Amino acid sequence: MSLNYLNIYNKLINFSRNKDLYQSLNRNDNFSDRLSIFLLHFAFFMRKYKSKENKVILQEIYDFNFRQLELSIREIGYGDQSINKKMKDYINLFHSMISEIHYWDTLDKDEKSRKITIFLQDFNKTHDLIDYFEDFNNKLSKIDLNSF
């Protein structure tokens, strides 16, 4: 199962590496920007596949992804105390993303823009990001969890 989770993690990372997502950024992207984009992708993923049938699998994917993030942070060179604080911050950020996009399908474009801006303040063209995440959300709707 771990290989499947690694494939999901890598797909989400690849989505987050899309250069087009960073074109409206006022500066060069950094680890924090990429992490925020990754967490948004992951939040949409978790939101879309949340169900009683997928509960155990999604918990394992959640645990796996945050373990991978912790390893990435360690590779950057943060110390143990910094890592614990950073991971707590990232987990809280992720949960607030899930909370903000919970009713994504019922929001209008301006409301979606406000939600995205909460997490991506330095991005100018949030409407482009909205279109991107709308498309991502629609793609997730067309495939089941096992196919992802």
- Length of the chain in terms of residues written: 148
Phi, psi of 25, deg, nearest 5: -75, 140
Q: What is the pLDDT of residues 12-35, one digit of tens each?
A: 999 999 888 888 887 788 888 889
* Burial label, 118 (beta-carbon count in 10 A; 0-12, 13-18, 19+): exposed
> How does pLDDT run across 91-136, given as a tens digit for each residue?
999 999 999 999 999 999 999 999 998 988 888 878 888 999 999 9
Segment 50-72 shows an average pLDDT of 92
pLDDT of residue 60 exceeding 90, the answer is yes
HEC profile of 51-91 = CCCCHHHHHHHHHHHHHHHHHHHHHHCCCHHHHHHHHHHHH
Say how far apart CA 122 and CA 120 lie, in whole Å: 6
Average model confidence (pLDDT) across the chain: 89
42-59 pLDDT, tens digit per residue, is 999 999 999 888 899 999
d(CA 144, CA 49): 8
Work out the number of other CB atoms within 10 angstroms of the CB of residue 38: 21
Task: Determine the pLDDT at residue 37.
Answer: 93
Query: What distance lies between CA 38 and its chain's CA centroid?
Result: 4
64 Cα distance to chain centroid = 14
